């Protein structure tokens, strides 16, 4: 009987922990689209950073920029174009991904700027038209 209670307790705790896991992808995508549409820099930064963290490699390379754009496109039904890699002449340099999607029957076009940290990891910089 004691063994059965232990199994039940373990199973219950596992279900609670797994049930409180990561946010559902459609919710995250809708939040991202909303943040992009309103050009909410802080929310966009938080959400894009979460996508960057999910990449196999976070290193600031042209290949990884394409992987990030592909991830956004596939998971959130956002049309993406890697406009340029390290072409924005700032210190440090920046890259741009253009994003297009429909929100409230309107076509939204935004760009996000991605740069790198001192240890060459991608980081979100800005969202703009």
For 47, what's the count of Cα atoms within 13 Å in the CB-facing half-sphere? 27
pLDDT tens per residue, range 83-97: 899 998 899 999 999
**126 - beta bridge partners?**
113
pLDDT tier, 25 (very low <50, low <70, confident <90, very high otherwise):
low
pLDDT tens per residue, range 32-41: 999 999 999 9
Residue 1 has pLDDT above 60, yes or no: no
Residue 6 has pLDDT above 50, yes or no: no
Alpha helices in the chain (DSSP H): 2-19, 25-37, 41-53, 62-76
Mean pLDDT of the chain: 85
Parse the chain into domains and list their residue ranges: 24-128
Position 61 scores a pLDDT of 97
pLDDT tens per residue, range 47-87: 999 999 999 999 999 999 999 999 999 999 999 999 899 99
Measured CA distances, 16 to 19, 90, 99, 112 (Å): 5, 47, 36, 36
**Distance, CA of 45 to chain centre:** 8
CB contact at 8 A, 49 and 123: yes
CB contact at 8 A, 82 and 97: yes
């Amino acid at each position: 009987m004691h063994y059965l209670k232990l199994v039940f307790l373990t199973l219950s705790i596992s279900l609670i922990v797994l049930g409180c896991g990561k946010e559902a992808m459609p919710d995250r995508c809708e939040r991202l689209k909303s943040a992009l549409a309103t050009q909410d820099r802080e929310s966009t930064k938080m959400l894009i950073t979460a996508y960057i963290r999910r990449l196999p490699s976070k290193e600031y390379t042209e290949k990884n920029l394409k992987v990030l754009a592909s991830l956004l496109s596939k998971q959130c039904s956002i049309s993406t174009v890697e406009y340029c890699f390290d072409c924005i002449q700032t210190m440090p340099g920046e890259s741009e991904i253009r994003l297009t999607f429909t929100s409230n029957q309107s076509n939204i076009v935004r760009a996000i700027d991605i740069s790198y940290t001192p240890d060459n990891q991608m980081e979100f910089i800005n969202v703009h038209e």
